[in-house]
């Protein structure tokens, strides 16, 4: 089974910009992996932030964007707010195999 | 308003069985790809299973052969039948339509003797 890697933790200043990445042990992440990003705050169910690389459900704030960057999937937060402090998970799909979550990134806004 | 409500979790001994239910309102589960995702205490998310709109099901290797994902169109409800439960199946189980951002609140399954 593929291993999906994320930064364990990142810190961003309020109003700052940060990019979270999602890599695959099988090689370059492409649109064919249909990358998803999820946000989870303590004690709450996850929420879908980004699907299919860069598409957003209606609730996703404009300051979040998804892309492919340097062979990985990327989630960029521009203009971080205190309420963006959360755990972020990516999910990659694999042809002929099952989707795999990354280990998650704990984002601190400080 | 869209709602997903999971029920059926609880404490079960290793080797036992449980059936989780996920009742949906505000949308039709059979028209969507629906997934089960679980989260062990203090750990990350783990994909468990998906049912496609056409009815095909797929499972994580860790649960294949032990879990069965089904749906009842008349009740607009999903089910996860979990057999031969193991200690490592202990987790909060969420049903969700990932792309639509429909998530339940989760139900805790604890497998322990």
- Max Cα distance, chain A (Å): 42
Q: How far is it, in rounded angstroms, from Cα A91 to Cα A109? A: 23
User: Closest by alpha carbon to A88, among A78, A75, A99, A100?
Assistant: A75
Q: Which residues of B touch A58 (CB under 8 A)?
A: 101
Q: Give the pLDDT band of residue B51 (cuts 50, 70, 90).
A: very high
Region B59-66 average pLDDT: 96
Facing B45 at nearest CB: one of A58, A59, A101: A101
Q: Give the pLDDT band of residue A98 (cuts 50, 70, 90).
A: confident
Residue range A18-57, pLDDT digits in tens: 999 999 999 999 999 999 999 999 999 999 999 999 999 9
User: Closest by alpha carbon to A88, among A33, A20, A4?
Assistant: A20
Give A52: exposed, middle or buried? Use CB within 10 Å, 0-12, 13-18, 19+: middle
Verify whether the Cβ–Cβ distance A101 to B44 is below 8 Å.
Answer: yes
Residue B45 forms contact with A (CB below 8 Å): yes
Question: Is the confidence at residue B100, as pLDDT, over 90?
Answer: no
Best A33, A37, A46 residue to mutate vs chain B (most B CBs within 10 Å): A46
User: Closest by alpha carbon to A35, among A15, A16, A56?
Assistant: A56
Residue range B8-50, pLDDT digits in tens: 999 999 999 999 999 999 999 999 999 999 999 999 999 999 9
Question: Is the confidence at residue A12, as pLDDT, over 90?
Answer: yes
Q: What is the pLDDT of residue A1?
A: 83
Q: β-strands B67-72, B77-82: how paired? A: antiparallel
Residues 14-33 of A with CB under 8 A from B: none
Facing B98 at nearest CB: one of A1, A51, A59: A51
**Per-residue b/e over B17-46, b at no fewer than 16 CB within 10 Å?**
ebebbbbbeeeebbebbbbbbbbeeeeebb
Q: How far is it, in rounded angstroms, from Cα B34 to Cα B64? A: 17
Q: What is the pLDDT of residue A42?
A: 95
Residue range B75-94, pLDDT digits in tens: 999 999 999 999 999 999 99
């Amino acid at each position: 089974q593929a291993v999906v890697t994320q930064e364990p933790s990142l810190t961003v200043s309020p109003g700052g910009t940060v990019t979270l990445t999602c890599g695959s042990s099988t090689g370059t992440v492409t649109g064919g992996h249909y990358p998803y990003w999820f946000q989870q705050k303590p004690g709450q169910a996850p929420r879908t932030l980004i699907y299919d690389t860069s598409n957003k459900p209606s609730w996703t704030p404009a300051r979040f964007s998804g892309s492919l960057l340097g062979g990985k999937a990327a989630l960029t937060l521009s203009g971080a707010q205190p309420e963006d402090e959360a755990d972020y998970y990516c999910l990659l799909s694999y042809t002929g195999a099952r989707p795999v979550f990354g280990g998650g990134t704990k984002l601190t806004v400080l | 308003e869209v709602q997903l409500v999971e029920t059926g979790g609880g404490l079960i001994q290793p080797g036992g069985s449980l059936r989780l239910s996920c009742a949906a309102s505000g949308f039709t589960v059979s028209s969507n790809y629906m997934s089960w995702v679980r989260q062990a205490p203090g750990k990350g998310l783990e994909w468990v299973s998906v049912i496609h709109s056409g009815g095909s099901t797929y499972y994580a290797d860790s649960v294949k052969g032990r879990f069965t994902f089904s749906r009842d169109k008349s009740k607009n409800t999903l089910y996860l039948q979990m057999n031969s439960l193991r200690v490592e199946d202990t987790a909060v189980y969420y049903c969700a339509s990932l792309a639509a951002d429909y998530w339940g609140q989760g139900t805790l399954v604890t497998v322990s003797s």
